[in-house]
Copies of this chain bind each other. A is one copy, B any other.
């Protein structure tokens, strides 16, 4: 709706990947360099971009500060964090906390396990609806109408042999997930990574969050992760309790 602001947002995304000189930014936007300069200067004034040692534009420190602040404002995170941390320490695997926001599942916390590997997930990013354990477990427990809306957002892009590439296949998985009480990711995004995910309930009993435990298949097979599901579930229930849930698993 606002062209200039849209361009400013575009710039931040462009500069996020690597440091860029003015000319590259202008070219990327398809505008004259003076135009790009003026937007960049405004962003720089607000601390959203800055110049690195080489004079190229990179993301600014205010962006970090707002990001941290926004993170602090996600209430569930502060309650859940100690539990996630303990889980990660005890098992040595990477732990994620996901939250349903609108029609997407967003990673709101992540604790790296031992020997942390590069993983696509990042706090604040949306989880892949059709592959991520957290996404699947949260989706599985939603009312039909909401579930449909979430599924509408799935891309069904194929990443590996086991990726669900059709809605029917994913729905079957979700039903199974609900039946057994947890979700599994059997190398659906990266074939050398698997994960299990358990649901977290809020005070009204709704599944608003999910906790996933992710490991390299080389470190822990899916079967090994399954052996500890009860522990993961009790951690999730601990978080549920802190969110005010008084009930028991139906």
Contacts and interface: CB of A to CB of B under 8 A. Distances in A.
A58 B39 contact: no
Interface of A: 1-2, 4-6, 8-9, 12-13, 16, 38-39, 41-43, 45-46, 48, 50, 58-71, 73, 101-102, 106, 108, 122-126
17 contacts: A1-B41, A1-B45, A2-B39, A2-B41, A4-B5, A9-B48, A13-B46, A16-B69, A50-B102, A58-B70, A59-B66, A61-B70, A63-B63, A63-B67, A65-B123, A65-B125, A66-B67
Given A59-B69, A67-B124, 12 more contacts: A2-B8, A4-B4, A5-B43, A6-B45, A12-B66, A50-B101, A59-B66, A61-B70, A61-B101, A63-B70, A64-B124, A67-B68
A205 to B, nearest CB: 16
Contact of A65 (B8, B58, B61, B124): B124
A9 B60 contact: no
Please classify the interface of chain A as helix (H, G, I), strand (E, B), loop, or mixed, using the class held by over half of its residues: helix
